[in-house]
């Protein structure tokens, strides 16, 4: 490949991985579990403060166990650092999440997400995720 082709591929890969991170937030917040195969490989391994999951079904179970008690969630990921290595990549992202407990209270969490990704015949997919908690509040009274 020429240097221009290499640059274009690098930028396209970074754009696709950035989109996957954004879609991961929507996947959780909107419960779009029918789109799981657009984000994760069948052999995905996820480690979080709530436990570990290997495979798609276990991952969905882990999300339900961790988020199913909330009336809603809102995840926001930022400060993405993407490292490409051929057909594999790592993505580091900061995550701030609001967990809606009820119409009067919520909690706020912050963490660092470390994704592992690989290029598949259908594009980039996450095959690993490690979630490290930084902060979690107690229930907070809503001002609005």
Summarised one tens digit per residue, pLDDT across range 134-143 is 999 999 998 8
- pLDDT tens track for 7-43: 999 999 999 999 999 999 999 999 999 999 999 999 9
pLDDT at position 143:
85
Whole-number Å distance between alpha carbons of 140 and 102:
11
Average pLDDT for 59-84? 95
pLDDT at position 127:
98
| Beta bridge partner(s), residue 110 | 96, 135
Whole-number Å distance between alpha carbons of 85 and 105:
43
**pLDDT of 1 strictly over 80:** no
pLDDT at position 19:
98
pLDDT at position 90:
98
**pLDDT of 144 strictly over 90:** no
User: Which SS3 state, helix, strand or coil, does residue 130 take?
Assistant: strand
| Beta bridge partner(s), residue 91 | 82, 115
What are the φ/ψ torsions at residue 125 (nearest 5 degrees)?
Answer: -140, 150
CA distances from 127 to 28, 88, 92, 101, 116 (A): 17, 10, 14, 30, 6
- Give 63-128 as a DSSP string: HHHHHTTSSEEEEEEEEEEEEEETTEEEEEEEEEEEEE-SSSEEEEEEEEEEEEEEEETTEEEEEE
Whole-number Å distance between alpha carbons of 80 and 77:
8
pLDDT at position 122:
96
- pLDDT tens track for 113-124: 999 999 999 999
In the chain, the percentage of residues whose pLDDT exceeds 90 is 93
Mean pLDDT of the residues in the chain: 96
């Amino acid at each position: 490949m020429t240097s221009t082709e290499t640059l274009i591929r690098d930028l396209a890969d970074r754009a696709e991985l950035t989109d996957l991170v954004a879609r991961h937030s929507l996947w959780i917040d909107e419960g779009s579990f029918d789109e799981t195969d657009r984000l994760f490989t069948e052999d995905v391994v996820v480690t979080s403060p709530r436990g570990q999951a290997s495979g798609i079904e276990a991952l969905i179970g882990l999300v339900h166990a961790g988020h199913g008690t909330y009336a809603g969630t809102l995840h926001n990921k930022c400060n993405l650092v993407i490292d490409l290595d051929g057909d594999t990549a790592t993505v580091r992202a900061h995550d701030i999440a609001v967990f809606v407990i009820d119409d009067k209270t919520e909690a706020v969490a912050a963490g660092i997400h470390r994704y592992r990704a690989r290029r598949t015949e259908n594009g980039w997919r996450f095959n690993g995720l490690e979630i490290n908690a930084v902060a979690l509040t107690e229930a907070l009274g809503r001002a609005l």
